[in-house]
Amino acid sequence: MSSVAEPKAPPTNRRNLTVKEYGGLKSTLCVGCGHDVITRQITQAFYEMGVDPHSVAKMSGIGCSSKTTAYFVDRGHGFNAVHGRMPSIATGSALANPNLLYIGVSGDGDTASIGAGQFVHLLRRNLPMIYIVENNGVYGLTKGQFSATADYGSRAKGGALNDLPAIDICTMAIELGCNFVARSFAGDPKQLVALLKAALAHKGTAMFDVISPCVTFNNHEGSTKSYKFAKDHEELLHEISFVPFFEQITVDYKEGEVKEVEMHDGSKIRLRKADVDFDPTNKVEALNMLRRCYDSGEFFTGLIYVNEEKPDFLTQLNMVEEPLATLPQERVQPTAEDLKEIMAELM
C-alpha cells in the first residue's frame, strides 16, 4: 500500500509566521520592474527579523515606487501621501505614535525633485524610520522623463541627452546628518536583505538609495540606471552580514578582515572587506568616497555611513514613549499649580 506524504509545513520565524504572512496585494507594476524585486527583499527582511506586522506603518508618496507599499505587510498601517509630501506625514505620525515601525518607500522624483524640501528636513531631524528611494533615474509613472538623479550625459529611451548634473542622494543624506546611509542594487538581493535587517536595528533615519531599473523607460543602452549598466559597474564596498541581538550566542566571530559595528540594541553588522579599504564609521572618508564615485562614474554598493551615537528626533524632543492618543487627561493637562507657576514666570 502506498502512503501519501503529508505536505510539508512552510518554515516560520520566531513569531511563528510564514514569509507569506508578510506579503501584500498582487503587484500591478510592469513585469521585471526593479521595484518589485525590492518589495521581495523588504518582505524577506521583515520575516527574518520577526517584525510584528501589525506594528508596521508604511508611508509613501506618488509614483510607481510609491505604489509598492501596498505589496508588502498588508496587516500593517499605510498612508499614501501627496507626491513628495511623505516626510511630513511620517513626521506627524511618528510624533503621535512612536510605537510603530515606520518604513517609507519613495522614488527619485518623489524624493529628489518635488519632495527635496521635505526630504532634507526629515534627514536633519533624524526621524526614526527606514527611508527607501527606489532610484530609476526617471519619472516612471508619468512615462520616463529624466529625474534629478539621472546621470549627466545619460540618454533617454528616445535618445535625448541629460545635460544636468545628478543629485547624489547619499552625499546629500550624509551632509544633512543622516546616520545610516546605504546604497544597493535591486539585482543584489542578498546585500539588500542584510542592509535592511541592519536598518531595522538602527535608531534614527536609515536611508537607502537602491538602483531599481525601470524596464519600460530606462533599461536601454545609454542609461546608467539599467540592469546591465548596474551589473557591469557595481563594486562591492564590503560583504555585509547582520547578526540580530537575539542570535548572538550561535555566532562564531572570525578575526581578520572583518569590521564590526555594534547597533544600539546590541545587534552587530559585520563588514567583510571587499576590494576597497573603507571605513563606514568615518564620515569624511564616506563623503570622499562618494565624491570619487561621482566623478569617475563608479557605482559602489554597501553600507556607506553609520553612526549609532546621535539621538533620534523623538529623543531630542524628549517625547513620551506611549502613543499620544492613549495618554490620560491628567498627563496632558497642566494642573492649576503648574499653570500658576508658568504665569508667574511670564510676569
Ligand X SMILES: Cc1ncc(C[n+]2csc(CCOP(=O)(O)OP(=O)(O)O)c2C)c(N)n1
Rule CB under 5 A: which residues touch Mg ion?
107-109, 136
Which residue stretch of 29-37, 162-170, 306-314, 326-334 sits at the interface with ligand SF4 (rule: CB under 6 A)? 29-37
Distance CA 243, CA 161 (A): 44
Stretch of 158-166, 182-190, 214-222, 328-336 lying at the interface with ligand SF4 (CB under 6 A): 214-222
224 binds, among Mg ion, ligand SF4, ligand X, none (CB under 5 to 8 A by kind): none
Q: Among 29, 103, 127, 173, which residue sits at the site for ligand SF4 (rule: CB under 6 A)?
A: 29
CA distances from 274 to 184, 235, 301 (A): 15, 9, 11
Query: Do 68 and 36 touch, CB atoms closer than 8 A?
Result: yes
- Return the DSSP state at 305: E
| 62 forms part of the interface with ligand SF4 (CB under 6 A) | no
Q: Using CB under 6 A, which of 12, 142, 316, 326 touches ligand X?
A: 142
Binding of residue 95 to ligand SF4 (CB under 6 A) = no
| Closest by CA position to 149, among listed 313, 294, 321 | 294
| Under rule CB under 6 A, residue 107 binds ligand X | yes
Tell me how many degrees the CA angle 221-83-165 measures, rounded to the nearest 5.
40
Q: If binding is defined by CB under 6 A, does position 216 make contact with ligand SF4?
A: yes
The helix (run of H) or strand (run of E) holding residue 258 is strand 258-262
Q: What is the DSSP letter of 25?
A: S
Alpha carbons 325 and 328: distance in angstroms, whole number: 8
Q: Is 214 in the site for ligand SF4 (CB under 6 A)?
A: yes
| Interaction between residue 213 and ligand X (CB under 6 A) | no
Q: How many CB atoms lie within 10 A of CB 120?
A: 16
Task: With H, G, I as helix, E, B as strand and everything else as coil, classify residue 47.
Answer: helix
Helix (H) or strand (E) run with residue 300 in it: strand 299-306
Pick the closer one to ligand SF4 by CB: 48 or 209.
209
136 binds ligand SF4 (CB under 6 A): yes
Query: Given the rule CB under 6 A, which residues bind ligand SF4?
Result: 29-30, 33, 35, 64, 136, 140-141, 214-217
Query: Given the rule CB under 6 A, which residues bind ligand X?
Result: 62-65, 83, 107-110, 114, 134, 136, 138-142, 147
